Amino acid sequence: MLRSLDDALALRDRLGPGRRLVVVGAGFLGAEAAAVAWRLGARVTLLEPAPVPLAHAVGEEVGRVLARAHRERGVDLRTGATVTEVTEAGVRLADGREVEAEGVLVAIGSLPNTEWLAGSGLTVADGVVCDAYCEAAPGVYAAGDVARWHHPHFGVPMRIEHRTNAASRAWRLPGTCSVPRRANRSRRCRTSGRTSTT
Ligand SMILES: Cc1cc2nc3c(=O)[nH]c(=O)nc-3n(C[C@H](O)[C@H](O)[C@H](O)COP(=O)(O)OP(=O)(O)OC[C@H]3O[C@@H](n4cnc5c(N)ncnc54)[C@H](O)[C@@H]3O)c2cc1C
């Protein structure tokens, strides 16, 4: 688990010159962890099922640049590599091969913690479904990683795992805006001296 400062310090203690780390998933977190582990002297294998890492987020061209940057520095980036199992020795790939390591970091995304909302009456579909104002039901609001909110500009529901999204969506909650919600879709919100228009 890599969630807190203590988790990060514990991981750092397992790394160092010559230590082998397998990172499963070359998304933002996996790539970042791989780069830091490499800088600490670890031998890093970065495994990613997609042909180009991060292409879904930054496009193929930039994804290829990032892949080259990792490889040029000595990270053993393997694309088209799907991990099926964490083993005693490291991890096993879908083709049966094993990659050995002293440490394994799995960075393949997260699931919203919504099981406890079963039967609550809220709509849960990979997150708590809510409107553009974070309202999931009358008087019930969701913000942050767990919220799947309607994006008025793109016209689709979105769930974004990003700290800035958590903070900016929280602004939409009642009590954080000076104008009553729904009264005007272009509202001015003021928090901590900053102003935004939605
Ligand atoms: C390793 C890592 C690196 C990251 N790096 C970045 C970064 O560089 N930049 C960035 O913008 N974002 C980053 N993120 C994402 C960022 O941490 C999240 O988007 C942000 O924390 C979301 O805030 P949140 O409050 O929605 O959820 P969280 O921070 O996950 O907080 C949710 C809290 O609710 C608690 N909880 C869960 N269920 C219940 C329950 N039933 N009852 C009570 N409490 C409950 C949890 O224990 C937790 O404390 C990173 C995430 C990780 C894991």
Note the pLDDT of residue 110.
Answer: 85
DSSP state string for 20-54: EEEEE--SHHHHHHHHHHHHTT-EEEEEESSSSTT
Same domain, residue pair 121 and 69: no
Which residue's CA is the closest to the ligand 1 atom numbered 26?
144
pLDDT value for 50: 97
The boundaries of the domain holding residue 132 are: 115-197
Strands 20-24 and 43-48, how do they pair? parallel
**Separation of CA 99 and ligand 1 centre (Å):** 30
Encoded tokens for 118: 């079963």
Residues 97 and 134 in one domain: no
The last residue of a domain, from among 89, 106, 123: 106
pTM (predicted TM-score)? 0.74
Q: Is 99 found in the same domain as 123?
A: no
146 and 101 in one domain? Answer: no
36 backbone dihedrals φ, ψ, rounded to 5°: -70, -45
Question: Which residues form the pocket of ligand 1, taking CB atoms under 6 Å from any ligand atom?
Answer: 2-3, 29, 113, 116, 144-146, 161-164, 166
Q: Is pLDDT of 126 > 70? A: yes
Do 67 and 137 lie in a common domain?
Answer: no
pLDDT of residue 98: 97
Q: Do residues 19 and 96 share a domain?
A: yes
72-118 tens-digit pLDDT: 999 999 999 999 999 999 999 999 999 999 999 999 988 999 999 99
Amino acid at residue number 154 = F
101 shares its domain with 123: no
Per-residue pLDDT, averaged over 140-148, amounts to: 94
Query: End of a domain among 72, 106, 140?
Result: 106
Report which ligand 1 atom has the smallest distance to the Cα of 3.
53
Same domain, 64 and 120: no
Number of domains observed in the structure of the chain: 2
Q: Is the pLDDT of residue 161 over 60?
A: yes
The pLDDT of residue 192 is above 50: no
Q: How far is CA 193 from CA 188, 189, 196, in A?
A: 12, 10, 10
